[in-house]
Structures are given as C-alpha cells and as structure tokens.
Amino acid sequence: MSSIRVLKNFLAITRHKTVASAAKEIGLTAAAAGQQLQQLESELGVELFDRTKRSLSLNHQGRSLIEPIQDIVARYEALGSDFKSELSGTIVLGALVSTLMGAFGSTLNKIKQSYPSLEVKLVAGLSSNFLDQVLDGSLDAAIVTESPYALPQNIQWTELYTEPMVLIYPTVKNKKGSAPRGLSGDLPFIRFERNTWTGHLVNQTIRSSKLVIKEGMELNSVEAIIELVRQGLGYSIVPKLANIAWESDRQLEISNLPGKTIYRKVGLLEKRKHSRQNITQEIKKYFLEQVTAKEKATPHELTPLVGHNVQLLGVSSRRVAQNNTMEVLTKE
C-alpha cells in the first residue's frame, strides 16, 4: 500500500507537470520521484499520466484521483489537530506576483508567523490559469483578481481587498529641475496583457477616462511594466500596489484619472467544497481583519497634491515613486 509520501509525490507532479520539478519540491531525486509514481500506478493497476519521450500529461484516470488523494492527505495531516490550538498541514495556493507585492504579501507573512505549523506552498501565475488549476484540484485555492466572466457553479470567489487603477509615467530631469513628460508626446502606452483579467480592467479604465493612447508594448507583469516606465520607455495604467513605496522614487509620476475610479478587486478563489476549507476560512478571516484595520488607518484615495500640478489630457498629476528593493516569495 502506498505511503503518504507517495501520494504527496503524485500531487506534486500534477502541479509541476514534470517529475524533476516535483522532486525538487518534495526533496527527492527525479529518479526516486519517478519510481514512486510508478509504484502508485502499479498498485492501482492504471496509468495516471500519458507519456511521450519529452512530456508527461495527466490523463482522465489521473485527474479523477486528484481530489480523493488530496482528501486522504488532508485527513492524514489533520490527525491530532483536535489537540492543537493552531492551524497545521499544507495548503497549495496560486498567487499573482503583484498580489505578493500588494496587501496579501505582508498578510501571508503574518499568517505564517502566527501558525508556524502551517505550510504554505505558493505557485505563481495568471488569474485565468489559476481557475483551471483550482477546478482540476492541482491548487487548493488562489489569490486572483475578480473575474470579468461568470464563474462555474462549484467555484466561489471572496473579495479580500481593492487597489485603485492609476496612471504612471516617467519624469525627466532638465535644467529647471524635474518635470513630467507629456502624455501627448511620443511616449508609447505599455499595456498589461489584454486577454487577462487585469488586462480587462485596464481596458475598462481607458474607456472610463476616455484616454487617447499610442499603443506600444504588451506584458503580463505589473512589476516589469513599472520598471519599464521608470526607465522612460513609456507610460501605463496599473493597480496601485500596497507594498510599494511610491513616494521614494523621483523617476516615476502617478496620476488620478478623470472620471470614476476603477478598482482591481483581489480575492480568494476556491471550490465551494474542498479538503482545505478549514485553512482557507482562517486565511480569509485573518486577512479581512488585517485589511479592515489597515483601511481604517489609511484611506484608499491618493493624498492631496504637494508641489506643482500639471494638466495632461485631462489628467491631474502628482509626484510619486517606487521602492527598488522588493522581495517576492514565489514557487515556480
């Protein structure tokens, strides 16, 4: 009979898609992880993956076993939990890198400090991809932006916090000091990938503010876009991430946009019933308590202007900045 380690190895392979990557997560050699997978398939009498010389893909039998195996592992990890006063076990969370740089990153760190027996495994990616991974069970839950589409009936999304969409552009120094580069000039627009959930928000913001833009690059990383803007390669519309010290970098300007402020809503995506609900419920409770306390102390809107004002395409602008040193904890 397969051990819990063998079952965990199977779940790791379903997340990483390769034996070698899964082996690194669970501390085995690729050969040992491959042998454990073969052992499980031999005991069950079915192949769980379709194999070619270069690839390994989960088949129908394998997909049907993800939830039962997750339940077995969760039950095993829950043994003795009635005698403990804190959360324990493992949860696999998908997370946008930008959310780790936002309010969720600091809250996750506080959760880990409060519950040292809780193991949180993070997988970086895009919101739309995370939905598929939550559906097939390779993720227990994910921190994602609100979907622009209707979600499947067995999926729920709980809002955790919001970030205003703001316009950012570079500042160029001249003999008279620092001055913003006009958006009506030759600066191209650096767009977040338009077919993503955040990309839909960017489009909504452009329409709401009636901005005329000159298309440039298209990326799927908020962090990369911010850095390109700092380098003077264009301007963009991004969510105002919570853990960036916008006031410390003189190379970046931030602007209120005309019209109604559009917010990126960030929340937890999960199945309505799953084996890690005790953990996700506590995460949501803890997170919402922290955010509520923070929001009472810090208003959402940008602070009043200090210094010069300029009018660019109907946009009121002010000086802001970004912190160059940011630590992002992700798991490939």
229 contacts 236 by C-beta, under 8 angstroms = yes
Among 230, 254, 237, smallest CA distance to 326 is for 230
Go through the chain and tell me how many residues it has: 332
Calpha distance 28→116 (Å, rounded): 23
Question: What is residue 225's predicted lDDT score, i.e. its pLDDT?
Answer: 94
φ, ψ of residue 170 to 5 degrees: the values are -80, 160
CA distances from 50 to 46, 47, 55, 61, 182 (A): 11, 7, 8, 10, 55
Strand partners for 320: 252
Strand, helix or coil at 265?
strand
Return averaged pLDDT per consecutive 10 residues of the chain, 332 residues in all: 82 83 82 90 90 82 87 75 64 86 76 84 86 87 90 92 90 52 70 91 91 89 92 92 77 84 92 86 80 62 32 33 31 34
Cα-Cα-Cα-Cα torsion 78, 19, 130, 330, nearest 10 degrees, comes to 80
Task: Tell me the H-state helices in the chain.
Answer: 4-16, 19-26, 30-44, 60-78, 97-100, 103-114, 127-136, 197-209, 222-230, 277-297
pLDDT at 296: 66
For residues 269 and 130, the answer to whether their CB atoms sit within 8 Å is yes
Q: How far is CA 267 from the centre of its chain?
A: 10
Question: SS3 of 48, please?
Answer: coil
